[in-house]
Structure 1
Amino acid sequence: MQWSYDTLLKWGTDELTAHSVDNASVDAWYLLEHIYGISRVDFLIRRNDPFDEVQMKQSADYQALIRRRSEGYPVQYLTGSTEFMGLPFFVNESVLIPRQDTEVLVETALAMMKPECRLLDMCTGSGCILLSLAKLGTVAEGIGVDISEGALKVAERNRENLGLPQVRLVHSNLFESVEGVFDMIVSNPPYIPTEDIEDLMREVRDHEPHLALDGSKDGLLFYRKLAEESGRYLVPGGSLLFEIGYDQGGAVSQLLDQAGFKDIHVKKDLAGLDRVVYAVKAAEDGGK
């Protein structure tokens, strides 16, 4: 078959639609853009031009990606890229794909951040939270921590791509290899209850790392540990911010209260669901 951009895009859209892929036309376009490096303007100008020999060979690569997407493989892993806070990030199967919901955490942290902030990002994954804060905020020193060496390789690639020498990455099981104190700690830890993972969308359940999803039986394991330990790594008056599941605001707030934090707040996302819990470490003199 003699393909053109228009006929190939239509084939890709129809193939994804037939396999009940959400946003089929959007994903078909992203994959076309990825394979051919074509802009929307170029597409409109050349949409009906018959492919030359090189473009015909590339069409086979496009069809292969469409077939993988139709099987539920995330488009971001297929292209190796996504956008978060207006910044480009490399992603692969070692990390969760950054979500727009997590931007609420970054925006909240930016509003609370003081100049020359010393920042720690626990369970950093792709580094999207830490690196966005370092790029858009006033971070003098940033440390990203993860237990996954694969995730740290992804975060390091993103750090280099964004040009952030003030950030370094640490392989550690939570605080085991962390030294020093910080003005702010942020975290989007695993928080899905174990039994709920099987009910997630197939793209998430079958392809994203369970290590970054599984928050134990009640989803609160990491919040308990971080609430208990974070105080020792924060300066008096330092801030602690978590992304949370939609139904975890009360439970996480209670954990922070029990750990001695003050000024505990829950912030909702654009859908009106609880998304972020943040609090402040009490001053050593009790705030007097």
Structure 2
Amino acid sequence: MQPTVHEALAFGRAELSDSLSPDVDVQILLCHVLDCTPTRLHVSPEHELEAQQWQLFNQLVERRKQGEPVAHLTGSRGFWSLDLLVDNSTLIPRPDTELLVSLALSKIKPNMTVVDLGTGTGAIALSLAAEKADIDVIATDFSFAALQLAQKNANRHALEQVRFINMSWLVGFKSASFDLVVSNPPYIEMRDPHLNQGDVRFEPLSALVSGPDGLEDIRQIVVQAAKCLKKDGWLLVEHGYQQSAAVQQLFTDAGFEHISAHQDFGGQDRAVMGQLTL
């Protein structure tokens, strides 16, 4: 006899007891193996796994035990209203970044041109395109592998109005090109000890680290956005929980007005938004 769903869940929880979220991790992995919803796990606890399913589940639990992100093990992650393909070429989309989508949607009007800088999986750009079919969306990334992944996600959700460009931030764009610039750039300090912990150990450093103070990329984005935004255009950036005051000052120095700080779902400072009125 093979283990039941109930027994597999118990085994997984015991093996991943040191994880921050063993119950969630185990449910996601088992649903991936069984190609089912979490509801089925609770409705059919006595269902027996097939031998190959049990073997695969064991392998995934062991890899998770070694620290591999669940999203890398399953190959996907939910973000906003989309299920996105994920691999180790870029960051795993985080729930807190949905704050940028919400803020952007509050400013978007029909026929606007929006650019998502450092798009990664395409999470922000594709979420905006899914909500607003009447806008032009451009997504940039300096990583060609990340752009290929983002394009796959666009194809997966039939979001054809998003254009992908291999580019570093706003270099190469003309003045007054965009109504809204949004970005979740690298913002971790070079020597931050968190780089040796959790999922970030399996993500590219280039998508995480931004110089000694974590602000090198945001500095570039703010200065470039001040040139590439149209009059009354908006800039939105995600940042580290302790960087809000510094980022707001960068916005002020670049000539932005109506600057506001916003908190993530955990109550931490996470984003700054400002308007170019000149």
Q: Match for 2:112 among 105, 111, 117?
A: 117
Give the TM-score, by structure 1 length: 0.91
Please say if residues 27 and 38 of structure 2, whose CA atoms lie closer than 8 Å, have aligned partners that are also in contact.
no
Question: TM-score, normalized by length of structure 2?
Answer: 0.94
Q: Which runs of 5+ in 2 are unaligned?
A: none
> Residue 119 of structure 1 aligns to a residue in which SS?
strand
Q: 158, 171, 196: which one pairs with 1:163?
A: 158
1:9 alignment counterpart = 9
SS in 2 for 1:195: coil
In structure 1, the partner of 2:258 is: 263
Q: Measure how far apart 1:200 and its partner are.
A: 4.0
Structure 2 counterpart of 1:151? 146
Specify the code of the residue in structure 1 equivalent to 2:9. Answer: L
| Higher Rg of the two aligned structures | 1
User: Does 2:201 align with 1:206?
Assistant: yes
Question: What pairs up with 1:41-60 in 2 under 5 angstroms?
Answer: 41-51=39-49, 55-60=50-55
| Corresponding residue of 1:21 | 19
Amino acid at match of 2:238: E
Alignment partner of 1:280 is 2:278: no
Matches of 2:82 and 2:36, distance apart in 1:
20
Match of 2:189?
Answer: 193
How far does residue 205 in structure 1 lie from its aligned partner after superposition?
A: 3.5
The one-letter amino acid of 1:47's match is P
Runs in 1 of length 4+ with deviation above 6 angstroms?
none
Identical aligned pairs, as a percentage?
A: 36
Match status 1:226 vs 2:234? no
Q: 1 CA distance for matches of 2:135 and 2:35? A: 36
Is residue 142 of structure 2 the alignment partner of residue 142 of structure 1? no
Q: CA deviation at 1:2?
A: 2.7
Asked if structure 2 preserves the Cα contact closer than 8 Å seen for 1:236 and 1:282, the reply is: yes
Question: Cα deviation per residue 1:50-85 (whole Å; 9 max; x = unaligned)?
Answer: 44xxx1122101100000000110101100111111
Instruction: Give 1:246 shift.
Output: 1.0
SS at match of 2:16: helix
44 and 263 in structure 1: CA distance in 2 versus 1, 3 angstrom threshold: closer
Please give the alpha-carbon distance, in whole angstroms, between the structure 2 residues aligned to 1:138 and 1:241: 20
Alignment of 1:76 with 2:71, yes or no, is yes
CA 1:45–1:255: 2 relative to 1, 3 Å? closer
Q: CA deviation at 1:251?
A: 0.8
**1:226 offset after TM fit, Å?**
1.0
